[in-house]
Chains A and B, each alone.
Chain A
Amino acid sequence: MSRPGRDDAPDRLYTVTGGRSRSGPDSPFDLVTLVVAESDPRPGMQSEHVAILRMTERPTAVVEVAAELRLPVSITKILLSDLLAAGRVSARHPYTAAVPRPDLLEQVLVGLRNL
């Protein structure tokens, strides 16, 4: 399997983000933030945005979006930030805490035992 991004000409990565190379330190997206489309694609939208809106009809993690688009995670986060700012997707961020809640860990254990 070819690696996303690696085999692309650099100008593709430049073009999809309008020249931006990273989403900045205040990017709200974690690798496992679940993204959900809030609108249908519109004619004339950038093809990557269309692809994201189609694949996030059901909750889809940032890392899954990146893998499907074959783009690096940082580039994917820029595209997602644009869609979030435009209200076209919503983001379900992980419940991060310095120490995971015991009840959450118990839910994880139950889920794993049921595999």
Chain B
Amino acid sequence: MDSVISDARTPLGASADNGLKIVVVGGFGVGKTTLVRSVSEIRPLNTEETMTRAGEAVDDISEVSGKTATTVAFDFGRITLDARNVLYLFGAPGQERFWFLWDRLFSGTLGAVVLVDTRRIDDSWYAIDRLEHHGTPFIVACNDFGGPAFAPEDVREALDLDPHVPLIDCDARSRASSKQVLITLVQHIKDQYAGKDQYPGQADQAALPRQEFA
């Protein structure tokens, strides 16, 4: 079933009562918005959040001393899953100031997709480190830019990725491929919370993502 993307507002059904979040994180130009657009029932929208530092709890990731405000812009799309559940898909930059706002914006997120350009693999290290720090379940998806294919084991090694984190290839322009990325993530989340794919030392952290609000 293909949904029609319209420029006009496409209202939700009156019975919708549960919003869910999945975040797509990646460097500039890696295809986050393209992936969101491929599966969204609305044209991706853009908004931003600003956090003033004064009076806010200071997180240990804050390294931008001297700044009084942090602003992060992000895109989002929407997928109506059924009569009650609506999934919001957020495309967000991976830079440092974004992580300062993670708890405020994405507390309670189901999980994250780290979208990787294998030509610029270094861009992804920081995002992976932060997601592990936050205890957020995630998968890594390598967007196909038509260059030489890298062997999965090489990408995994370059990212220093834990063996239990799924690593897949995708084409963010393709609806079917982007849909498969989301299914892979949710299946991984399900497996992880069911106690599979865990190993000593990570189980406690993996099972309890941080839920506090900034």
Q: How far is the CB of A108 from chain B (nearest CB, A)?
A: 5
Which residues 88-115 in A have Cβ within 8 Å of B in the complex?
92, 94-96, 98-100, 102, 104-115
Question: Is there an interface contact between B81 and A102, defined as CB atoms closer than 8 Å?
Answer: no
Question: Is there an interface contact between A112 and B46, defined as CB atoms closer than 8 Å?
Answer: no
Which residues 8-58 in B have Cβ within 8 Å of A in the complex?
9, 11-14, 16-21, 39, 45-52
Question: Is there an interface contact between A108 and B86, defined as CB atoms closer than 8 Å?
Answer: no
Closest to B45 in A: A67
- Give 4 new A-B contacts, CB below 8 A, not counting A6-B48, A59-B13, A73-B47: A31-B90, A63-B76, A111-B81, A115-B179
Partner of B110 from A57, A100, A115 at Cβ < 8 Å: A100
Residue contacts A-B, CB under 8 angstroms, 16 given: A4-B48, A31-B105, A55-B9, A59-B16, A61-B19, A73-B48, A92-B16, A98-B211, A99-B209, A104-B85, A105-B190, A109-B190, A111-B87, A112-B79, A112-B179, A113-B183
Question: Is there an interface contact between B47 and A67, defined as CB atoms closer than 8 Å?
Answer: yes
Q: Does B161 contact A (CB under 8 A)?
A: no
User: Which residues in A have their C-beta under 8 angstroms from that of B190?
Assistant: 102, 105-106, 109
Q: Does B168 contact A (CB under 8 A)?
A: no
Q: CB within 8 Å of B: which residues of A?
A: 1, 3-6, 21-22, 25, 30-34, 55, 57-61, 63-64, 66-68, 72-74, 92, 94-96, 98-100, 102, 104-115
Q: Tell me whether A107 and B49 are in contact in the complex, defined as CB-CB below 8 angstroms, given that A34-B12, A96-B211, A112-B182 are known contacts.
A: no
Describe B's contact surface by its main secondary structure.
mixed
Contact size range, B: 35 or more
Q: CB within 8 Å of A: which residues of B?
A: 1, 3, 9, 11-14, 16-21, 39, 45-52, 71, 73, 76, 78-82, 85-88, 90, 105-108, 110, 175, 179, 182-183, 186-187, 189-190, 193-194, 207-209, 211, 213
Question: Is there an interface contact between A73 and B85, defined as CB atoms closer than 8 Å?
Answer: no
Question: Is there an interface contact between A25 and B213, defined as CB atoms closer than 8 Å?
Answer: yes
CA distance A82 to B76 in the complex (A): 25
Question: Is there an interface contact between A94 and B47, defined as CB atoms closer than 8 Å?
Answer: no
Q: How far is the CB of B121 from chain A (nearest CB, A)?
A: 27
User: Which residues in B have their C-beta under 8 angstroms from that of A67?
Assistant: 45-47, 76
Partner of B45 from A30, A64, A112 at Cβ < 8 Å: A64
Closest to A62 in B: B19
User: Which residues in B have their C-beta under 8 angstroms from that of A112?
Assistant: 79, 81, 87, 179, 182-183, 186
CA distance A67 to B76 in the complex (A): 10
Q: Tell me whether A109 and B45 are in contact in the complex, defined as CB-CB below 8 angstroms, given that A32-B88, A63-B88, A74-B51 are known contacts.
A: no
Q: How far is the CB of B142 from chain A (nearest CB, A)?
A: 20
User: Which residues in B have their C-beta under 8 angstroms from that of A104?
Assistant: 85
